[in-house]
A = this chain, B = another copy of it.
């Protein structure tokens, strides 16, 4: 198998990987599930089956690498920088908006990839990313966070929050995005912040 650690520049490699990725996404839409095979992917990608092995060890390996790429694209698009976490609520909101807009822009890809049962790896990776994000956010709020005030263990709040996010996004995609990214971001705000904000109502 070829080295994948550093980004390839050879157009032949880029072409082949794109063909494989497209074929995979393509098959994922029509396949009865679990009928995916390297043979079919190669056939659909119009490449030789042996060529597949020059890039990936097997299908799980392929999914792994594709998930890596997805997370990379994601961070790139949303502008997530681990060093400088969002501090204000406005920045939080904007990040969520960019995140949803990025998904909406590539909804065809994300709907297939996140909705399919064959590739839970993608959802899992996204869940991990959101978990880190929310974790950092809560950590940084300290005694200001609602879960501190309500006496809720931080890890439970993190599990709850990240699962709710990813689950809502997947359901949103499955239902063909009946709400705009901005509206959905607003609802997330209401669902998480209302605990504190509604005090005085």
Contact = CB atoms under 8 A, between A and B. Distances in A.
- Assembly stoichiometry (copies): 2
Nearest to A161: B164
Interface in A30-78: 33-34, 58-60
A201 to B, nearest CB: 7
Interface residues of A, number: 44
A60 B166 CA distance: 25
Contacts of A166: 163, 167
Contacts of A179: 153, 156
Most chain B CB inside 10 Å of its own CB: which residue of A146, A157, A167, A198: A167
A195 interface: yes
A14 interface: no
A171 interface: yes
Interface string A162-190: 11101110111001001100001001001
A92 interface: no
B150 A198 contact: yes
Contact of A198 (B59, B187, B195): B195
Given A59-B34, A153-B179, A167 B168 contact: no
Contact of A191 (B121, B160, B199, B200): B160
Given A33-B60, A117-B124, A121-B117, A159 B152 contact: no
